Amino acid sequence: MDRRAFLAYTSLAAIAPIDLAGLVAPTAPPEIPKRIRPKELDHLRLIADGIHRWDNTQGGGGLVGDFASRSLAWAVRLLSVDCPQQLRPDLLSSIARLGIVVGATHFDAYSHGEARVAFKVASECAEEAGDWWLRAKTFSFLSRQATWLGDPDAGLTYAEKGLVRSDRLTPTIRAMMHSARARAFGKMHDIQGTMAAVGEADDAFAHSNPAEDPTWMHYYDEAQHHGDTAHALWDLAIHAEQDPGRAADRFAKAVAGHSDDYARSRGISGTKLASLVMAKGDPMQAIALGHRALTDVGRLTSQRAADDLKELRRFAGQHRTLEEAAHLRQRITATLQA
């Protein structure tokens, strides 16, 4: 069907959805300017902020991930556009920032190859721009992705790379990097390494001053810090017979501190807290925590959050004599299938 024929129709009911999708699809990629101006940099920042916001409230799947991919493809094309020398570092930093948030959405949706490409774009642009803060942020995500995928040794290496010239990083950024190290050590079940890295993260965060941080680091507040370090301590509690109270306290603070703008972080922390209590504490308390977490997680297009729910369902399966645990498992299954 061509556009002229479509315009002659008076009802959508007569048109196959696949035909309609073809009609509204772009016929060409977005145009790029002939010369980089400050407004292109503003556009890149606004797009990055939007993707970051949608990713944290909705998850990285679906339309969020698709828009993210298209945005980065447009941004990379800007690298070949004539750019005044004084704007070049800002252009590179803006593309690096966009690459980070795009990579984060793909990581969340388990499009790991696309995530690595986005992070590679970000790291190269940050290096060329001499932007140590964005460079560290990129290595933080590479570390977390590697650790999540079962390669904590690579995760630790990436985190250590991000801490190169740590004197140039703000205390908040250093706390973020030490948290990534702690998560890698936690997956290795290295008690001493994990506790030392958590201590270094806490020490750095104690000197955090948001006024010194770039605006894109403002998400790393007390709730985020407690949630990040709690993940490392969770692994020790589950797999190395360490005190579960340390992780539980931090997860509880994360859940209480996250606003609706960070629904995914709140939901993931709540789910991990429920799993921890289900495995090491009072199952009835864990069931209540699990139902609360489902309220957040059920709205997300996040594969990471979905995997955490499956983990909670497995832990709940250890309490087969509890009718309430069976109901939680059923609700988790329904949520995952929705």
pLDDT of residue 283: 98
Confidence label for 23 from pLDDT (cuts 50, 70 and 90): low
Confidence label for 2 from pLDDT (cuts 50, 70 and 90): low
Q: Please give the residue that has the higher pLDDT: either 300 or 190.
A: 190
pLDDT of residue 292: 96
pLDDT of residue 24: 53
> Average per-residue pLDDT in the chain?
93
pLDDT digits (tens, 9 = 90+) for 36-83: 999 999 999 999 999 999 999 999 888 899 999 999 999 999 999 999
Q: Is the pLDDT of residue 17 over 60?
A: no
Average pLDDT on 312-336 reads: 96
Share of the chain above pLDDT 70, in %: 91
pLDDT digits (tens, 9 = 90+) for 192-234: 999 999 999 999 999 999 999 999 999 999 999 999 999 999 9
pLDDT digits (tens, 9 = 90+) for 146-197: 999 999 999 999 999 999 999 999 999 999 999 999 999 999 999 999 999 9
pLDDT of residue 26: 59
Q: Is the pLDDT of residue 16 over 60?
A: no
Three-state helix/strand/coil letters over the chain: CCHHHHHHCCCHHHCCHHHHHHHHCCCCCCCCCCECCHHHHHHHHHHHHHHHHHHHHHCCCHHHHHHHHHHHHHHHHHHHCECCHHHHHHHHHHHHHHHHHHHHHHHHCCCHHHHHHHHHHHHHHHHHHCCHHHHHHHHHHHHHHHHHCCCHHHHHHHHHHHCCCHHHCCHHHHHHHHHHHHHHHHHCCCHHHHHHHHHHHHHHHCCCCHHHCCHHHCCCCHHHHHHHHHHHHHHHHHHCCCCHHHHHHHHHHHHHHCCHHHHHHHHHHHHHHHHHHHHHCCHHHHHHHHHHHHHHHCCCCCHHHHHHHHHHHHHHCCCCCCHHHHHHHHHHHHHHHC
pLDDT digits (tens, 9 = 90+) for 103-121: 999 999 999 999 999 999 9
